[in-house]
Amino acid sequence: MSERELIREALRMREKSYVPYSGFAVGAGLLTKDGKVYGGCNIENAAYTPTNCAERTAFFKAVSEGEREFSAIAIAGGRAGEAPSDYCAPCGVCRQVMAEFCDADSFQVILAKSEDEYKVYTLRELFPFGFGPENLME
């Protein structure tokens, strides 16, 4: 699975976003270590706080199907109905969810404007010194 293919999934998932309040559509493509891809979109709510980000939608879909090991996520976001004009970085809550399941030094976070224009970070770069499962182990 190439970075381009994972970005294509994120861009495809943007079209599924439910964003009547922000008008900001985000899509994510999450790659498991054994090569499966789970897509996610953001899903908003009239009460606002129940809103789920695209990244967490992808993680929760995957984990609920039994997946536990991930190698990368591609994220694309911007005004609904338009191509992304900027990079969309994951929010702090989504970074925390990534930290629960992913190795900080090897998990790759791909921020994409298009299949050709993207940046790649490790989770460690985006979420240094986080609180994770290892903090609760003796």
Q: Where do contacts with ligand THU occur on this chain (CB under 6 A)?
A: 19, 22, 24, 26, 42, 44, 51, 53-55, 75, 77, 88, 90-91, 94
Pairing of strands 108-112, 70-79: parallel
Please, which residue, 35 or 86, has the CB nearer to ligand THU?
Answer: 86
C-alpha triplet 90, 42, 88: angle, nearest 5°: 30
24-32: strand order across its sheet: 37-41, 24-32, 70-79, 108-112, 118-122
Q: Which residue of the set 9, 44, 55, 138 is catalytic?
A: 55
Please, which residue, 58 or 104, has the CB nearer to ligand THU?
Answer: 58
As measured in angstroms, the least distance from the Cβ of 53 to ligand THU is 3
Please, which residue, 37 or 75, has the CB nearer to ligand THU?
Answer: 75
Q: What is the distance between the alpha carbons of residues 8 and 63, in angstroms, rounded to a whole number? A: 22
Query: Can you list the positions of beta strands (E) in 33-129?
Result: 37-41, 70-79, 108-112, 118-122
As measured in angstroms, the least distance from the Cβ of 33 to ligand THU is 22
Residue 44 bears catalytic tag? no
As measured in angstroms, the least distance from the Cβ of 87 to ligand THU is 10
Which amino acid is residue 26, in one-letter code?
Answer: V
Q: Which residues are identified as catalytic?
A: 55
